[in-house]
Structure 1
């Protein structure tokens, strides 16, 4: 078991709870625990800061299974839209011209569209933070 795994003492419900577990194990005096609780309360009020830090650490990871899931989703959705809006109509046209009895598969794009819009929205928020000088 890793050092962090020992500190957390098992699976955490969320990142703030995990930090609370770490604080309990690291700080032993009442004064230290009170300061740690104050920091934890500040984090609870702004969970997006903690999530942004977790995202930064994930993105810097060497493993493609950790750092590459967002680009993977983007590529999958991009290929799905390529098929749905360009290749599928082209294949349907070719099938009709050749008078073949083939029905090319369709892809439902409603779920992909939601996912792509969410990814683009997050990217736009990040760009807005950079332009206003709020990113570090």
Structure 2
């Protein structure tokens, strides 16, 4: 939610501050605060990942595996099962499918976080 407000706030800064330099200073401060929040979230993630309890440290992998299972079912298992049943002479026209649109939102978020961590590793950031 917070990043979505930044374009709105920067537009407001242009109207509030008659001096463009003051507006730019306010925009820079807003960006600094946004980055600070992102770094704090990374710190929270690192502490969470080191936790001894699987329920704290393992929730991200668990969500990833659920997404992978739904992905495999929708695009691999379900079509193959229909082909096998057809070959066995017991055709089904449809098998239940899982709602992949909502899962994609979660999966893309997890992959985005993974992408950021990969970027950190490439740049040599150790946490």
How does the TM-score come out when normalised to structure 1?
0.60
CA distance in 1, matches of 2:67, 2:74: 10
Q: Secondary structure at the match of 2:99?
A: coil
1:70 aligns to what? 60
Aligned residues: 95
How does the TM-score come out when normalised to structure 2?
0.64
- Displacement of 1:123: 0.7
Structure 1, unpaired ranges of 5+: 1-41
**2:78 paired with 1:88:** yes
Give the 4+ runs in structure 1 shifted more than 4 A.
Answer: 42-45, 100-103
1:128 aligns to what? 119
Which of structures 1 and 2 has the larger relative contact order (alpha carbons within 8 angstroms, sep 6+)?
2
Q: Secondary structure at the match of 2:73?
A: helix
Q: Secondary structure at the match of 1:113?
A: helix
Residue-by-residue CA offset, 1:47-67 (whole Å, 9 max, x unaligned): 122211111111111111100
2:102 aligns to what? 111
CA distance in 2, matches of 1:110, 1:44: 29
Q: Over aligned residue pairs, what C-alpha RMSD do you find?
A: 2.3
CA distance in 1, matches of 2:57, 2:38: 19
- Displacement of 1:69: 0.3
